[in-house]
Chains A and B, each alone.
Chain A
Amino acid sequence: MEFKNFLKAAALTAVVASSASVNANPNPYTECGIGALVFNNPDVIDDVPIAAVISNIIWDLGTTAVISATATPETCTGAAIETAMFINDSYDSLVEETARGEGEHLSAMLSMAGCATAEQSQAAALIRSDVADVVTAEGYQATTQLEKSSAYYDAMQRNVAATCVNSGV
């Protein structure tokens, strides 16, 4: 990474870290050990060979293995990891829908995180506000998809925890 990009990434990380510090629950990308295991290739789906796409075996077994290897009830719950994976897999659609304030992926993520239908609209508005800060921060474009997903997760987690009674993240 060039030095200029490094500075930008560091600045974005600072934005993310400052907002993450208020969270009681861990960020699965950095604190549950799944970042390196699952997301070492940010384009994992697009890069899956034709054969693997057809068989779906690799992905399926991969998911199972990750959850059993890393999830514990006290720290990284299944819902947290599943939501983190969904965010990474659907990031482009999700961040666009967040900007629009509505959408199927946004609703799916909120459901996954434990938000009831009646709570989703408020949670979405709060997430939109926080993600807008992340997206407009200097250096956003230079960050990897994993870093973007991680920052998005923090914004989601903070607001879902504050808004949704049965938050699972």
Chain B
Amino acid sequence: MKIPQAIRTWLLLTLLSTPVLADYSQSELAQVAEQTTWLKLLKYEGEGNSQKSAVFSEEFFFADNGSTDPEAELAATLIAFSSPLQPAYDDKGELLEGLKGENVSKDQHPQCRFRGRYTWLKTQFDLSTIEEINCPAFEEWSADVDSISFILATGYLNNPASFYGHTLLKLNTRSEDHTSSQSSNRLLDQSVNYGAIIPDGENPFVYIVKGISGFYEAGFTHKEFYYHDHNYGDGQLRDQWEYELNLTPEEVQLVTAHAWELLGRKYDYYFFTRNCAYRMAELFEVVDGVEFKPDRTFMLPQAFFQELSQARHNGEPLIREVYYHPSKQQILYNSYLNLNGEQQEITHNLIATGDFRNNTDYQTQPTDKRQIITDTVMNYYQFAEVAVEGKRSSYEPTAPQYSAALKERFRLPVGTPELDTEIPAAPHNGRNPSLLRLSGKHLTPANKTGIQLLVRPAYYDALDAREGHVKNGQLAMGTIAASIYDDALRLDYFDLINISSVNNAVTYLPGDRGFAWKLRAGAIRQTESCDHCVIPRFSGSFGKARALFDQNMMIAGYVGGALQDNLNDAGYAYVSAGADLLLHLAPVDIKLSSEARQHIDSDWADEYDHSAELRFETSTNSELRIVGRHNRGSSITAGYGVYW
């Protein structure tokens, strides 16, 4: 509700008569309240009369109308900062005394609860008349923080919420010369996470619908980074990329203090727009001169990191350093690929038997190779615990073979041999996430020629999967392709979702044998030659894939089926079998696909769908693509695409 100007002025004048505000003129207050940084600290969104804080926790505001009136909130904040310390009570209402009571009292003081506001307001006003409170909890939380990083956990196709990756903030204590007894260690750094608050056991489909529609509350939480490192790297086999920011100590202090005051505050959550990447960017925007307004209707984590990597701040690149933290899967591959064929065979044997003592081939290896082999056996079981379906205990670290490897490692000398490790290209080097392609299209035997426009808001397909994507995989959402001919505009297809998940096997051990699946839902033209024949279809398949030549070639076979509309007596379902061949010969990528379909309870005969697709990468953010398809009619499409 907007308060009338006259009442607003009266309220402000009343407030201004309070001792602390008497130090500042109304124009001073008004000037500071209009500043962008103050609005950012309050998380204001919108413009003019419609501006309102995105935070809806009442305790985030001191003024009753603080969520809509920045000037009233500023005045109330200054008064709150000058308030005396209040006694602290425990949960039973009993007075807390001694050092604990004193500390709790300080931690509950507005200066401590709103440390970001206090830090910034000190730069705007002379607060010398206000007694400064030291804040034990905040000081402990932020002790030794000397830089800030954003973490990108790469995408994860087994959970819809994680398709596009996840963004975290990490408060680094990298300095080696600080005076505390603790040495710096990234695992112990505090990390700040933003996510939806979801009931236990929520149905995944309900989760998707509510997540997209804004029916969940969300908030910031904090935890030592090792929790997330374990969760993403070990539990979900996702690589993590860390981008350390080039900020001044004062800027680091402000972001840290602002993160502190946001912990536990409630927001509405929107999966595509007001998500983790958006809120992290917004948190960071309190730094003067930093603007990360999304230039699209959705906010993808990778796009945020691309923007970060291109930004300059204080006349220098905003990113100071990029670090790679491999997943358990990548750690397994790294150690495995540092072994020759014979040693890999020994490793397979030891994974099967766990008999280190009696394996003479193993025992005759040099010490460093025995160390790598033993580490690889342990790495495998860590990986298999996640990757082998069905949580079978024989593929977990409780397996006797794992225990045998662990015992063997204790018998071997200490030390970790240096491995030749290939670090993948960082996600910020990748292309932009959305595709717009304009093509010429010709249909036979209809002998029609037209123009096709394809828009794919996100994210990648098997031919343009690059940095931060699953190689040979596909994740496309909201793709629409339509063609204009002399006589009509025709929808070729609309993919609500089109996913292809492949495991690019390296070891061919259980759990790493190239299991693959596809899922596609949307609307599609029944054949290339038909008119008025767009139908809804939901299809899925699973199979095996094998990557060869350093993953630059992949062959895959699938079986599956689909549910669809029965238009033209095509039947409500079909079963299918198909195969894909992928080749990556930079800058050219090729995909050949073939699928045989048998329609159930239908007048249609068996159907065959063949396609050949060639992509030529003309630059990081552009491509030429030729697609030929045959299915009761043929089409050929050739066009130029740009990524945005």
Contacts and interface: CB of A to CB of B under 8 A. Distances in A.
A112 B221 CA distance: 21
B433 to A, nearest CB: 21
A161 B187 CA distance: 22
Contact of A132 (B186, B204, B207, B410): B410
Given A49-B202, A55-B197, A107-B185, 4 more contacts: A56-B223, A59-B227, A99-B410, A132-B410
A132 B410 CA distance: 6
Interface stretch (B4-12, B23-31, B230-238, B541-549): B230-238
A16 B185 CA distance: 29
Interface stretch (B14-22, B396-404, B497-505): B396-404
Contact of B181 (A51, A52, A116, A140): A116
B205 to A, nearest CB: 13
Nearest to B99: A73
Contacts of B221: 55-57, 60
A152 to B, nearest CB: 12
Given A45-B227, A45-B231, A57 B197 contact: yes
B83 interface: no
A116 B184 CA distance: 10
A130 to B, nearest CB: 11
Contacts of B201: 49, 51
A147 B207 CA distance: 37
Given A54-B195, A108-B185, A60 B409 contact: no
A63 interface: yes
Interface stretch (A7-15, A21-29, A90-98): A90-98
Interface in B217-257: 218-219, 221-224, 226-227, 230-231, 234-235
20 contacts: A49-B201, A49-B202, A51-B202, A51-B207, A54-B198, A56-B195, A60-B222, A90-B226, A93-B234, A99-B410, A107-B185, A111-B188, A116-B182, A116-B183, A128-B410, A131-B410, A135-B407, A140-B403, A141-B403, A166-B181
Interface string B398-424: 101001001101101011100000000
B524 interface: no
Given A89-B230, A90-B226, A114-B181, A56 B193 contact: yes
The prevalent SS among residues of B at the interface is mixed
B188 A102 contact: no
Contacts of A52: 198, 200
A54 B231 CA distance: 10
B182 A51 contact: no
Interface in A108-151: 108, 111-112, 114-117, 120, 125, 128, 131-132, 135-136, 140-141
A50 interface: yes
A46 interface: yes
Contacts of B188: 108, 111-112
A104 B403 contact: no
Contacts of A55: 195-198, 218, 221
A40 to B, nearest CB: 16
B183 A117 contact: yes
B161 interface: yes
B401 to A, nearest CB: 10
The prevalent SS among residues of A at the interface is helix
A49 to B, nearest CB: 6
Contacts of B398: 141
A120 B183 contact: yes
Most chain A beta carbons < 10 A, residue from B182, B201, B235, B407: B182
A101 interface: yes
A102 B410 contact: no
A105 B234 CA distance: 13
Contacts of A39: none
Contacts of A166: 181
Interface string A30-61: 00000000000000011001111111111110
Nearest to A100: B416
A151 to B, nearest CB: 14
A86 B188 CA distance: 10
A53 B230 contact: no
Given A56-B221, A140-B403, A46 B181 contact: no
A65 to B, nearest CB: 11
A115 B185 CA distance: 13
A56 B227 CA distance: 10
Contact of A100 (B176, B223, B382, B415): B415
A105 B226 CA distance: 9
B289 interface: no
Contacts of B181: 114-116, 165-166
Contacts of B183: 107, 111, 116-117, 120
Contacts of B410: 99, 128, 131-132, 135-136
Contacts of B176: 117
B199 interface: yes
A109 to B, nearest CB: 9
Contacts of B397: 92
Nearest to A101: B414
Contacts of A131: 410
A166 B182 CA distance: 10
